[in-house]
A and B are shown apart, each in its own frame.
Chain A
Amino acid sequence: MTPIDPVARPRRNVELVLLVLALAVGIGAQALVGVDRQKAFDSDFWFQSGLLALAALAFHVVLRIRAKYADPVILPLVVALNGLGLAMIHRLDRVGEDTGNNQLRWTLVAMAVAIAVIWFLKDHRILRRFTYISLAVSAVLLILPLVPGISAGEVLGASVWIKIGSMTFQPGEIAKITLAIFFAGYLSSNRDLILLAGRKVGPVQFPRFKDMGPMITAWLVSIGVLVFQRDLGTSILFFGLFLVMIYVATSRISWVIIGLVLMVVGGFVAAQVFSHVALRIDGWVNAFTPEVYGREFGGSLQIVEGLFGMANGGLVGTGLGQGRPNLVPFANSDMIIASFGEELGLIGVFAIVLMYLLLFTRGFRAALGTRDAFGKLLATGLSFAIALQCFVVIGGVTRLIPLTGLTTPFLAAGGSSLLANWIIVGLLLMISHTARGPVDTTPLPPGQEPGAGRKFPATPSKPAPDPRTNPDAPTEAVKQL
């Protein structure tokens, strides 16, 4: 990645131009879908497109006011992805179904929440104060789907849904964010300690056993999600999120090694003990054997149909509305990438994956540019989570890895996922604002930043760092790395 431009430029006009382009992509796709259904440019189309455009422009204006140095590429990328998703979901709606409009409603809600986050939070560093509250919230969010009365029960083999009135919601999606905040807060406060102690085995320094606490916690959370919610994808996502954050916090590859070993051990045991994991793996390895293909639960029909669709799309695709993506179960949610692969071809789906690549790359740039350890960790964690989620979903759909039930960010039908991912975008935009903005040497108003007004560089000799220690001051140990 190229170094950060030292001169701060807002680039909001660039964003506006890109945003118009992004809206053209999304709304253009919507129009094509309409043409195919013989109701192009009807009032519904204008109403929906207008709402999306308005929301995007409102977001843009808020950025001009509150975060004018925010990365100008992130918002257009996300609007384009969201718009494409809306078009495809509309296109996949069978007669009488209304997933498309539902998705539009959720898009507007999610954008509004993201705007509110930017407007009211003002600075991402404030979140550091909520380190342990985030942990508590994560725990509650993860336990909710298992609480009788609130739980929506087991849906398609996984207990990840809750019921609020007639609506269902997946709290695990939000837990992704609160866990990232907790990890970022905890690790930015305690990294020195974790860094310094340890045993050296060859070139690799291994941490002390008692510093493994957070790692064990993260591992237990992931295993808990796997065991109690039966959700392999989210489990992998949480653990990957934690691994990358502890790696960035310590720059120690040993953590990754330990983490991967734990993951492999956990995965292996899970595959032996839990039928749902074993079924996933069986459906992956033996996807093309009749018994697995025909199995009613946990069979490979979904993945095989998806592969057929994508193969049918080939290089250039059948064209929007010309393929048969509806032959694939969950064509508008888990398998939406297969729908795009079929109708837009390899070229179209490459473009979509490239948009994700650009999106998480901009997130990593924000992580590089921002000057506080908390922000660096949070931005890296969230960006990596987007990348990992894409990998797990698209890898599953293409049979690179076993298929797990994760959503494709911004594309797939599903309100919880949209909401969570838009909040992530809001946070990344805010972090990128501090990263790209002029270096602000004036301290925040008292009380706004943890430890503000107190200036004490953490020293390596400090046995237990105060959680309020200013994380921005690099320690000797960090400098040596």
Chain B
Amino acid sequence: MNQAIRNSWIAAIAMFVLIFGALSYVQVVGADELKANAWNRRAILQNYCNDRGAIIVGGTPVAESVPGSESCKFQRTYSQPELYAGITGYFSKNYGLTGLEKSMNDVLAGSSDQQFLDRVGQLFLGNQPKGASVELTLDPKIQKLAYDLIPDGQRGSIVVTNPKTGAVLAMVSKPSYDPNLIATQDAAAEQANYNKLNAVPGINLNQNVSGPTGALLAPGSVFKLVDTAAALGSGKYNKDSVLPNPAEMSFPGIDYKLPNYAGGNCYTRTTASFAFALQQSCNTPFASIAQDLGQKAIAEQAGKFGFGQDFGDQLKLDSAPSFFPTEPLDAAGLAQSSIGQRDVRATPLQINTMTAAIANDGVQMQPNLIKAVRAPDLRAISEPKPQPLRTATSPEVARQINEWMVSVVDDGIASRAAVPGVQVAGKTGTAELGNGLNNSWFTGFAPANDPQVAVTIVMEGVDITTGANLTSPNAKKIFEAVLNK
């Protein structure tokens, strides 16, 4: 019996050895990871009242720490809150950090490795700890213009980038919100505000569920650019290919028929060139390409444009991956998916990087928001350089699509995006939501022969006319503003 008692004791000791191990792991070995967790409010609470670095756009701080009360020396404030909320995110005591406040927290709080010597200095000189500032690539003028182009009460996003560098010039969405409401020190108000904002559909509280980087929307005809790239890349099609263009397409075994857009000029021809099919945004030519090449080829090309992938390390915002269905589709499903309906979803930023890749001879650049990180003495701690993200198409394919996208603006249904004296390339999309309303898209770039700017606009849940009025004409205004025309 005594031996059994000793064995039981050994079992109890074994359990305690496990406990000692688990405690050591949590408190020492794995502690850094736990401290860095986004949900961990202790880190925020600890330096919540420190002088945190500013987030700067065009020389003006849009998020900064200003002297606060006796109990909390510095208070985070946002000077143009709604305009930049989707970028800066918020710095909240109880709801944590989002946006750049989260991803750039290390440098903003002054705790990054590069700032180690600064911290030592602060320690010896007894100065207040002060974080580094983050300068953004955004152009405040374009950002404001883009924001105002989305009417209040309308859900929508606009993304403006430089296709050659990936620099983001403007990125806005509505509805937006005031991060000051959540950065308040009044815990009760903070909670009430958060709950109120969180209840608004589409509000960009977290970048990976809404807004330019998170809203997953049916791309509609914009997706035909993927079909075109897949077709040219396959070698089975070239610029002179003649595509079948029946008024509607039927499928074996089911009643469904895929029609061409009734309002356009598609019905005038039973076959079409790529240029015509893109200009008039006919559905059946692209559905037949998809049927010919197969789902795998379309999915692969979508992947090369970034579907199912992330945006690289330079964006510093949370994002949701866009997707093209990978589970096998039936013929009708593939046809619908090939025109950006059914199960295809893309974020506004995804459509923009896809467009930018076409503009940049097939090379997709990493979207980049950060121009520089500067220490309190204005010394640059880091200045990100443009980084290629992936190769989407060959240069020849990209240039061919570029040429056709120009004709869509010059001779096709995106004509209202035309800017006098500038070659504008574009493509529109109208994804039906099934309730009579659509997601209305424009994506394009200019000048087509030397692309400086890629613009993507999406307005969610609009009728045909409103969609047409809010996309191509607005793109025109942005092209003009960026190119100073």
Contact = CB atoms under 8 A, between A and B. Distances in A.
Interface of A: 1, 244, 247-251, 288, 293, 304, 307-315, 324, 327, 341, 345-346, 349-350, 353, 356-357, 360-361, 364, 367-368, 373, 376, 380, 383-384, 387-388, 390-391, 394-395, 398-400, 478, 481
Contact of B16 (A248, A307, A387, A481): A387
B19 A394 contact: yes
Given A307-B26, A309-B42, A387-B16, A251 B34 contact: no
Given A1-B6, A251-B4, A400-B22, A391 B16 contact: yes
Contact of A350 (B20, B30, B35): B20
Q: Indicate the size class of the contact surface on chain B.
A: 35 or more
Interface of B: 1-9, 11-13, 15-16, 18-28, 30-35, 37, 39-42, 45
Given A341-B26, A390-B19, A481 B39 contact: no
A341 B27 contact: yes
B8 A247 contact: yes
Contacts of B26: 307, 310-311, 341, 398-399
A312 B12 contact: no
Given A304-B39, A324-B45, A346 B6 contact: no
B3 to A, nearest CB: 7
Contacts of A324: 42, 45
Contacts of A353: 16, 19-20, 23
B18 A400 contact: yes
Contacts of A481: 1, 3
A383 B35 contact: no
B80 to A, nearest CB: 29
A391 B21 CA distance: 12
A384 B35 contact: no
Contact of A383 (B12, B21, B31): B12
A357 B17 CA distance: 10
Given A357-B16, A398-B19, A315 B27 contact: yes
Contact of B1 (A251, A314, A327): A251
B16 A395 contact: no
Nearest first, the 9 closest Cβ-Cβ pairs linking A and B are A311-B34, A387-B12, A398-B22, A311-B31, A391-B15, A400-B22, A346-B27, A364-B9, A251-B4
B41 A327 contact: yes
Nearest to A393: B19
A373 B1 contact: yes
9 contacts: A308-B34, A308-B37, A311-B26, A312-B35, A364-B9, A364-B12, A368-B5, A391-B12, A400-B18
Nearest to B24: A346
Given A308-B39, A373-B1, A384 B8 contact: yes
Given A364-B8, A376-B5, A395-B15, 15 more contacts: A251-B3, A304-B37, A308-B39, A308-B40, A310-B23, A314-B27, A315-B27, A345-B27, A353-B16, A353-B20, A357-B13, A380-B5, A395-B19, A398-B26, A399-B22
B27 A360 contact: no
Contacts of A346: 23-24, 27-28
Nearest to B25: A398
A356 B19 CA distance: 12
B94 to A, nearest CB: 9
Contact of B19 (A247, A368, A391): A391
Contacts of B27: 310-311, 313-315, 341, 345-346, 349
Given A315-B28, A357-B16, A391-B18, A367 B5 contact: yes
A42 to B, nearest CB: 25
B42 A341 contact: no
Candidate in B2, B32, B42 with the most chain A CB atoms within 10 angstroms: B42
